[in-house]
Amino acid sequence: MEFSIVITEDGSPTLHHPVFEQNYHSINGAASESQHIFIQNGLDYWLHNNKDKTSIDIFEMGFGSGLNAMLTAKRAEDLKVNIIYTTYESFPISIDTAIEISTYFENSEILINLHQCPWGQAIKINNYFTIIKKEKKMECIDAINKFDLIYYDAFSPISQPELWTTEIFQKLFKATKNQGLLTTYCAKGSVKRSLKEAGWQITALKGPKGKREMTIAEKH
């Protein structure tokens, strides 16, 4: 499969998926979007509400370019917080594409390590960040009370409606610990209704550049 690289407004790269015909991140800034949705309103938000915790289990839907994972690995080191990061991906990109993307980032060696490390094993990327990549469909998730934080980064409900249903959000609800959090760029009404039906308590937050809103969902 041929993934093309697209340079976004903040200078960071994203990918274009040839089958789904979707970009992996916003054209208004890939790194700034990830930073806003997953780091600031995901990891930092959860840590703020769980000040006594020094370790966190994260599940990411869609490893993709590795951008979310790279920013999280960096944040783990900065904050000295232990992170176990489990990510599912059903269409992994090639190492060559990953190397090409990495040239646009200062932390290029982290991104390359994240892509080069084997699938299905727990691999330590730095002193605080361990990744477990699984070449699996996210629909297969069957964990129970395992994760503190979910990065829900599927392609849009228009291109993958099957990944934004009440049933999927129920699986993620089960997989999440009490006081856990799910964060997503999506603010669509039908998605918020599905999240609520699955038991999540939702809040609309200001979106990243070019997007009015985003959504966080909490398990209480």
Ligand X SMILES: C[S@@+](CC[C@H](N)C(=O)[O-])C[C@H]1O[C@@H](n2cnc3c(N)ncnc32)[C@H](O)[C@@H]1O
Euclidean distance between CA atoms 113 and 57, whole angstroms: 20
How far apart are CB 167 and ligand X at their closest, in Å? Answer: 13
CB of 218 to ligand X, least distance (A): 21
Residues pairing with 181 in the sheet: 149, 218
Q: In what order do the strands lie in the sheet with 22-23?
A: 4-7, 13-17, 22-23
Is residue 208 a contact residue for ligand X (CB under 6 A)? no
**Per-residue b or e along 102-135, where b marks 16 or more CB atoms closer than 10 Å to that residue's CB:** bebbeeeebbbbbbeeeeeeebebeebbbbbbbe
The number of residues that bind ligand X (CB under 6 A) is 17
**Residue from 54, 90, 126, 201 binding ligand X (CB under 6 A):** 90
**CB closer to ligand X, 21 vs 52:** 21
Interacting positions 6-45 with ligand X (CB under 6 A): 24
Q: What residues numbered 131-150 form the site for ligand X, per CB under 6 A?
A: 137-139
Tokens of 10: 């903040």
User: CB of 22: closest distance to ligand X in angstroms?
Assistant: 7
Binding mask 54-83 for ligand X (x = CB under 6 A): --------x-xx-xx---------------
